[in-house]
Structure 1
Amino acid sequence: MATRSRDSRLRRTLLATLVAASVAGPVTGVTRPGAVPAPVPAPAPPPAAATPVALAVRYAASRVEILAAARTAARHGHHGRASMLGEMADPARRFLSFDGRDGGRAVEVFGELSNAERIAVLVPGAGIDLDKYGLLRGGSMRLQDALGDRSAVIAWLGYATPSSVSLQAMTSGRADEAAPGLRAFVREVRAARPGARVSLLCHSYGSVVCGRAAPGLDIADIVLFGSPGAGVADAAALRTPAAVWAGRTAGDWVGRLPYVSIELPFVTVGLGGDPVSPGFGARIFAAGGGGHSDYLASGSTALASIARIVSGRADGDA
């Protein structure tokens, strides 16, 4: 009976999601990020070492790509996107890579990567694209401020995130596509800064991306927050030597999700076990109050806890 009840709740959630998506799509009136044209970026290998000179070359190359995308957007009449990209091309900002196509990809560094002893790679969840990039940037900046000197936060918008209200956000398909890129990027960071402590921070659907990328990665921590699941039943299934942490704010709606997986003919719906449940096996950190988007809010309990984890100052449950 309990299993039938859980399945019924999940099916109701799926139905509500599909109905909301069918209503929201036609009435938004907003240009889809993927509909804004952008040029194909030139291939560029990552810096072999995170020296100031090598990083400056990489940042400059990414700025060229951003400006090219801005010109293309302006030519096609997308002046809002062109203006935003002009701000992203500010020489004070530091992008390791950029691709304006299909919603956009951007990897931005906050702090001095060349001398960082602690590096946090922040993986966003559903609904984050170039038009919503400010949300990812703001959280990254606040975390970097909390970490202080000799630290860097890397905002990794390295994949096509699913829409917030969509069936895609309840399946692992986008995460399966994103995981190889995240694995490769983390390995590049480890090679460029071999002595640094590297942590993978995974918000919302980003937890599923991290879960798919986790096996065998040489990192210190995997931090799951606001997580609808990590695509696995428990922490052991991540097959990682890293410490696995999980936290949820008191007002986060994901806590009301039915954490089950249902096999349908061509897809599995549901994203695995609840990372903050005792059975999952993660170390639990204090997240305090707030909602789904408040984990990296200024002065929040969750921000302080995550900063302690990245700094290596959290023992046991944080």
Structure 2
Amino acid sequence: MPSPPRSDRLRRGLLAVLVAASVAVPVSGAARPETVPAPAPSAAAPLRSADPAALAGRYAASRADIGAAERAARGHGDHVRAASLHTMGTSARRFLTFDGRDGGRSAEVFGDLARAERIAVLVPGAGIDLDHYWRLRNGSRALLRELGGRSAVVAWLGYRTPRTVSSDALTPARAAEAAPGLDAFVRELERLKPTARTTLLCHSYGSVVCARAAHGLRVADIVLYGSPGTGFPDAAALRTGATVWAGRARDDWIAGVPHIRLRLPFLELGFGPDPAGPGFGARIFAAGDGGHSDYLRPGSEPLRNMARIVAGTAGSVQLPGGHRA
């Protein structure tokens, strides 16, 4: 009996993953504690400038919101969440926004935003929320160290990320919800820092979010790494003036995700072509031999290359095969 065509096998594989995820998520979710309550954030006045005094006022307002969320978590009996929020609310931390509800939303600044000449906005993928925020924080700090002075990194946890193993991680629905918020945030940065060189760094499902928001954003580069696809057929379809980069580490399990896109009557599955593939049209950078969570590991090849992209020194970016851009 002849084997089914490759496209049919890919479709069946993706549907099998969807069914498994749809079964696994309710079962695993049943054992989880209920969502930790938090009050709505205060209505902060719009930032008029990025001077130190204005930023200090915004950081203080967000610190108060974090404190309120900590008290709510402690009252709810979730002392792990409360301890995490207590750390986030120290005077050394700088949050432009914070909302503790529904898994958490935040935008934390690393470095001196007031004096930054180059800004990296990190957009995380699935599985990042307040309880797993340390992953995003660690990567942000590593990137800032690699960049050096006159730089700022913003960890943008501005949307309800899907769980890593879930049906939501196979559809663009969460990305569609997130894109307007990312668009608004980047435009605010542009207004506050019009001469700064801004780059979007988009990991995994975050690359789907960035692709949805790309059109019209005045950023220098959009970096898609560890991506399952973007929901678009190629880089030109993003309709962006930014340089689109892509990288995937050799041991990243995301390489096994079927790069197809299915439109069903009530659902869209998959994200289409691989941005790191030859037909997508992105500039490819060397991403080393790490795994899916290793791109911002201190001292790693992808971290060095992404820092070079953020810095605007594209000619020094290492390409696959040891060549330079």
Please give the TM-score of this superposition, normalised by the length of structure 2: 0.93
What are the Cα deviations for residues 141-189 of structure 1, in whole angstroms up to 9, with x where unaligned?
Answer: 0000000000000000000001111111111100001000000000000
Q: Aligned to 2:154, what secondary structure does the other structure show?
A: strand
- Find the aligned partners of 2:8 and 2:93 in 1 and give their Cα distance: 47
Change (3 A) 1:245 1:76: same
**Secondary structure at 1:208 match in 2:** helix
Specify the alignment match of 1:5 in structure 2. Answer: 6
Q: What amino acid is aligned across from residue 68 of structure 2 in structure 1?
A: A
CA shift, 1:43, in A, is: 1.9
The Cα RMSD (Å) is: 1.7
> How many equivalent pairs are there?
316
SS of equivalent to 1:120: strand
User: Match of 1:14, as an amino acid?
Assistant: L
Match of 1:297 in 2: 297
Instruction: State the alpha-carbon separation in 1 of the partners of residues 230 and 60 from structure 2.
Output: 35
Give the whole-Å Cα distance in 1 for the aligned partners of 2:117 and 2:41: 31
Partners of 1:46 and 1:147 in 2: CA distance: 29
What is the distance in 2 between the residues matched to 1:94 and 1:6?
48
Q: Structure 1 45/10 Cα, relative in aligned 2: closer, same or farther at 3 Å?
A: farther
- Structure 2 match to 1:93: 93
Amino acid at match of 1:153: V
Amino acid at match of 2:92: A
Q: Superposition pairs for residues 235-254 of structure 1, below 5 Å?
A: 235-254=235-254
Q: Distance in 1 between matches of 2:105 and 2:196?
A: 25
- Checking the alignment, whether the CA contact within 8 Å between 2:24 and 2:166 is kept in structure 1 is no
Residue aligning to 1:192: 192
What amino acid maps onto 1:269 in structure 2?
L
Counterparts of 1:269 and 1:7 in 2: how far apart (Å)? Answer: 14
Report what 1:37 is aligned to.
37
**Greater shift after overlay, 255-264 or 289-298?**
255-264
Q: Which residue of 2 aligns with 1:180?
A: 180
Structure 2: distance between partners of 1:209 and 1:60: 29
Deviation at 1:47, TM superposition (A): 1.5
Q: Which residue in the other structure is 1:14 paired with?
A: 15
Q: CA deviation at 1:46?
A: 3.6
SS of equivalent to 1:210: helix
SS at match of 2:127: coil
Structure 2 runs not aligned, ≥5 long: 320-324
How big is the shift at 1:24? Answer: 5.7
Give, in angstroms, the shift of residue 2 of structure 1: 10
Change (3 A) 1:260 1:2: farther
The letter for the 1-side match of 2:206 is G
Q: Cα 1:284–1:2, aligned 2, differ >3 Å: closer, same or farther? A: farther
3-state SS of 2:108 partner:
strand
Whether the aligned pair in 1 keeps the contact of 2:40 and 2:99 (CA below 8 Å) is yes
Following TM superposition, where does structure 1 have runs of at least 4 consecutive aligned residues deviating by more than 4 angstroms? 1-4
Contact 1:6 1:258 in 2 (8 A): no
1:18–1:166 contact (8 Å) kept in structure 2: no
User: Contact between 1:276 and 1:282, CA under 8 Å: does it hold in 2?
Assistant: yes
Structure 1 alignment gaps of length 5 or more = none
Q: Give the percent of matched residue pairs that are identical in Structure 1 and Structure 2.
A: 58
1:159 has 2:171 as partner: no
Q: TM-score, normalised by structure 1?
A: 0.95
Question: In the alignment, which residue of structure 2 is the partner of 1:53?
Answer: 53
- The one-letter code sitting in structure 1 at the alignment partner of 2:11 is L
Deviates more, 1:103-112 or 1:261-270: 261-270
Q: Deviations over 1:267-287 (max 9, x none)?
A: 111112110111100000111
Paired with 1:46 and 1:145, the residues of 2 have a C-alpha distance of 30
- Write the mapping of 1:1-318 to structure 2, written as runs, cut at 5 A: 4-20=5-21, 22-23=23-24, 25-27=26-28, 29-31=31-33, 35-315=35-315, 318=325
Aligned counterparts of 1:21 and 1:198: Cα–Cα separation in 2: 38
